[in-house]
Structure 1
Amino acid sequence: MSNRPVIVVDAGSYSLAETSIAGAGQRLAEIAQVLGDRFVVRVICSPAPDLVDLGAAEEVAHGGAAEQAIAGADAVMFFDTPDRNRIELAVSHRKLIIGECRAPIEHMSYPSVLTFADPIGEHQRFLGTYRRMLQVAHHFLCRSQVERAALLSTLCAFGRTTPADIMRSATLDHLITTIPIGFSRRGLNAAEAAPPVHMADFLWTGGIWAFFEPLMLVEAMGILRDRGVDTTAAFMHAAPTDDTRSTIGAVGRAIDHLALGDRVHLHTEPLPFSARDQYVKTAEAYVCIARPGAENETGTRLRLRDTWLHGVPTIIDPYGISGDLVAREGIGVVLREPGAECLADALQQVKSGAIGRTGRRMERLYENSMVAFMDWLERELHGG
């Protein structure tokens, strides 16, 4: 029997299946991999025949198995879309609770919320669970300094910080740890082992959400065609969901309208996660353009992992902390005046070789960036 502490990682509503995992699930899985090298880790998730690599972590199904796992855990970790009943179960068992939870700002733009009979009531489901996490979590994880600053203010407003906390740590490190978006050693090894396969020169590597501007990429590709630039682009994850179907449909119509079917590809079939690296490692640049908005001011885009891992530059808008990160770290191009012409200019610069690869950023390796958190967790579970 192992005497290592048992950590339960609850995936909530996030899929960890090969063909439906998104950026948040990918981060969760890689964090579980790293925790599994030091602790006994059990991951509560929906059953799937094609689960992604969880390292040494053990899969736990919903229902009775999940309840037993929480009851037997030393600590329970929840992410952005937790199950409210399992939160209350962890509270009732007096477990150490850790939360990586962001305010549900982007949810207010989801078509599934906006078209609901009672949009405010539907959003309250997310908001109520978020507020409960703020009340009961003993420690919080953040993805960036901006998210940390926002959380500090929120915790103060909720009465979760006291003068005693400030006396204990002026930076409140006993309450919050920042683990920047990155990649695990297993993720790195998988990326290096993947054979390069060309899908397109320029890739839209993540979801096509309502607050993004994917049509700008289509229009920019039309401009490049008219300039005589021979190049291609692809939207890698264009398998429709309730919250992306309308945007994906608009992109498809724009491709047809501009007669760009030979230059712009909508990959509408589910793309296995293990097949991703072979395509993203061969791209010349990634494109991620969003509109101005509260979500982009407060949230770091998880797809930047691809740039830090593969060293391929990202072309991005200036609206928020993701653009600030790209500019500060020199890992791509920030469009100061976003528009199809400006994006086409940036794509042409990349195509001409004026903008090259940025190099892998090993400081983003989770095995390095999670050390402080895992040390804290060890101390807490062994009585400080």
Structure 2
Amino acid sequence: MKSISIFTSSYSVGSYMGGIGVRIWEISQVLSKYFKVSIITQQKSNFKWPNITFKIFDEKNWKSQVKESDVIFCVDIPDTRILLYAHELKKLIVTENAIPIEHLEYDSIKNSINKDKHYYDLIMRFKLQILVTDHFITRSKVEEQTLITAMAMMGRINYINYLENENLRNLISYVPIGFNKLSDVHQENSPFIDETIEYVWNGGIWDYLDANMALTAIEMCRSQKVDLKMKFMYHPPTNQNIQEYKLILRNINEKKLNSNVKFINENLQHYERDKYLKSSRAIVCLGKDTIENYTCVRLRVRDVFLYKKPIVIDNFGATASFVKTHQIGLVVSNEKELAEALVSLKRDDCLYKQLVNNIEAIRNDYCIENNILGLVDFLNRGEKAKDICNSLEKHDLLLTNLIDSYSSLKEPPIYPI
């Protein structure tokens, strides 16, 4: 049985994991049906699963881990030393990443002394990732499109690869944002909680999101004698300066929304999320008109399909287009439209049922098991990308020039989150 080592960068995989960690875990569970999987993290995990081993990343073991593996799998902001060493050993390299745009909003970058230098480091590591990856995984069609553009600019789109497969499935597996069957079984068996949660704010609190629009809309509804309840799933990280969070706390107090808007006070574990999402009527996640919203579909669309809950989304970018195309939620442009949407989902059972029916009609299309067989076939073949093998001298020249232009690629990254 082939072995895969998944290096998770700074993301944890365990009870308190976030969006990327959840995706790594669910993909790992599915891959473990076919391969031996090692998940290499910086934090100890309390998860256990057949054919999955957790290991702590440290400077003493990562090279031996690469040597012992058939496949190296990296995600967002990989340690480029791992990629370079795996490439040197001619290991099969698989990566999942989108062009680093959202990182412009990370607190540690936008509030750093030299913002451009920090961001430039991420871009250069992304370029190296593009050059040495044998097979890419994309999470949405917009990510696939931007990835192909980046690949073309880095010389990875050429007739060697194109003639092998005209839709580039030899290089790219589209595994859309979704859930695995194991998570579905778990949520089905999870209890409901007693209290009523009409709306759950899902997707975190970041400065590129607009949670305060929801507070204004709830205040507008209350002035019209419609009492709405919303819960925030998480507080933001304590080590980041999130202005949106400060504004939320102030608005809850000033607008006297303490009985309408609450945070889940427990330190919520991953599998504890089920009872809150199952007990809610709909998901709310609103973004601002920033470039990040145009280049990705938000990871929490997974929860729309897993829990069969409509979503209320902003009218900016790829997630809005996705929701409108599939009619799985309501898209709003301002506070008034948001207030109307929240009231409609509360009172209009016909509308609500139609949205849920739309979700159920395409739900299986977003099950990981139904989208991963192309990747499994690629891993079983074990063939490196033809342009890397057949044009090794040209490829290594591109790689050498990139490293010469930025020697820090031989050093570990400074993770911005």
Normalised by the length of structure 2, the TM-score is 0.86
Q: Give yes or no for the alignment of 1:134 onto 2:134.
A: no
Cα offset for 1:210? 0.9
For the 8 Å contact 1:196–1:278, the answer to whether it is kept is yes
Q: Give yes or no for the alignment of 1:113 onto 2:109.
A: yes
Q: Give yes or no for the alignment of 1:188 onto 2:184.
A: yes
Cα offset for 1:52? 4.3
Q: Give yes or no for the alignment of 1:102 onto 2:98.
A: yes
State the match for 2:121 in structure 1.
125
Deviations 1:331-377 (A, max 9, x none): 11111xx2111101000000103432514412211111111111121
Deviations 1:185-227 (A, max 9, x none): 1111111111112462101112111111100011111111111
- Which one of the candidate residues 150, 153, 165 is aligned to 2:161? 165
Partner Cα distance (1:341, 1:16) in 2: 39
Partner Cα distance (2:345, 2:317) in 1: 23
Partner Cα distance (1:383, 1:201) in 2: 49
For the 8 Å contact 1:60–1:69, the answer to whether it is kept is no
Q: Give yes or no for the alignment of 1:351 onto 2:328.
A: no
Deviations 1:118-152 (A, max 9, x none): 11111122212111101111111111122111111
- Which one of the candidate residues 315, 318, 323 is aligned to 1:318? 315
Q: Percent identity?
A: 28
For the 8 Å contact 1:208–1:244, the answer to whether it is kept is no
For the 8 Å contact 2:99–2:146, the answer to whether it is kept is no
State the match for 1:275 in structure 2.
272
* Residues 1:231 and 1:223: Cα distance change in structure 2 (over 3 Å): same
For the 8 Å contact 2:35–2:51, the answer to whether it is kept is no
Cα offset for 1:382? 11
Q: Give yes or no for the alignment of 1:224 onto 2:226.
A: no
Partner Cα distance (1:349, 1:52) in 2: 40
The runs of 5 or more residues in structure 1 that have no matched partner are: none
Q: Give yes or no for the alignment of 1:147 onto 2:146.
A: no
Q: Give yes or no for the alignment of 1:290 onto 2:290.
A: no
For the 8 Å contact 2:103–2:119, the answer to whether it is kept is yes
Cα offset for 1:56? 3.1
State the match for 2:88 in structure 1.
92
**SS state at 1:284 partner:** strand
- In angstroms, what is the RMSD of aligned CA positions? 1.9
State the match for 1:340 in structure 2.
335
Instruction: Tell me the amino acid that sits aligned with residue 205 of structure 2.
Output: I
Cα offset for 1:92? 2.6
Partner Cα distance (2:161, 2:239) in 1: 43
Instruction: Tell me the amino acid that sits aligned with residue 379 of structure 2.
Output: L
Q: Give yes or no for the alignment of 1:299 onto 2:296.
A: yes
For the 8 Å contact 1:143–1:178, the answer to whether it is kept is yes
* Residues 1:181 and 1:96: Cα distance change in structure 2 (over 3 Å): same
Partner Cα distance (2:238, 2:281) in 1: 28
Instruction: Tell me the amino acid that sits aligned with residue 366 of structure 2.
Output: R
Instruction: Tell me the amino acid that sits aligned with residue 224 of structure 2.
Output: R
Instruction: Tell me the amino acid that sits aligned with residue 207 of structure 1.
Output: G
Q: Give yes or no for the alignment of 1:44 onto 2:46.
A: no
For the 8 Å contact 1:23–1:302, the answer to whether it is kept is yes
**SS state at 1:203 partner:** strand
Q: Give yes or no for the alignment of 1:11 onto 2:13.
A: no
Instruction: Tell me the amino acid that sits aligned with residue 214 of structure 2.
Output: L
- Which one of the candidate residues 307, 323, 326 is aligned to 1:329? 326
Q: Give yes or no for the alignment of 1:179 onto 2:181.
A: no
* Residues 1:54 and 1:242: Cα distance change in structure 2 (over 3 Å): farther
Q: Which is bigger in relative contact order (C-alpha 8 A, separation at least 6)?
A: 2
- Which one of the candidate residues 368, 371, 376 is aligned to 1:369? 371
Deviations 1:165-195 (A, max 9, x none): 2211111111111110111111111111111
The runs of 5 or more residues in structure 2 that have no matched partner are: 387-417
State the match for 2:52 in structure 1.
57
Cα offset for 1:244? 5.8
Q: Give yes or no for the alignment of 1:22 onto 2:47.
A: no
Partner Cα distance (1:268, 1:287) in 2: 19
- Which one of the candidate residues 196, 212, 217 is aligned to 1:215? 212
Cα offset for 1:72? 0.5
**SS state at 2:352 partner:** coil
Q: Give yes or no for the alignment of 1:34 onto 2:36.
A: no
Partner Cα distance (2:120, 2:328) in 1: 37
* Residues 1:258 and 1:103: Cα distance change in structure 2 (over 3 Å): same
**SS state at 1:43 partner:** strand
For the 8 Å contact 2:204–2:235, the answer to whether it is kept is yes
Partner Cα distance (2:385, 2:346) in 1: 57
Query: Which stretch of structure 1 is more off in the superposition, 85-94 or 250-259?
Result: 85-94
Cα offset for 1:51? 3.3
Normalised by the length of structure 1, the TM-score is 0.93
**SS state at 2:197 partner:** coil
Query: Which stretch of structure 1 is more off in the superposition, 93-102 or 59-68?
Result: 59-68
**SS state at 1:334 partner:** strand
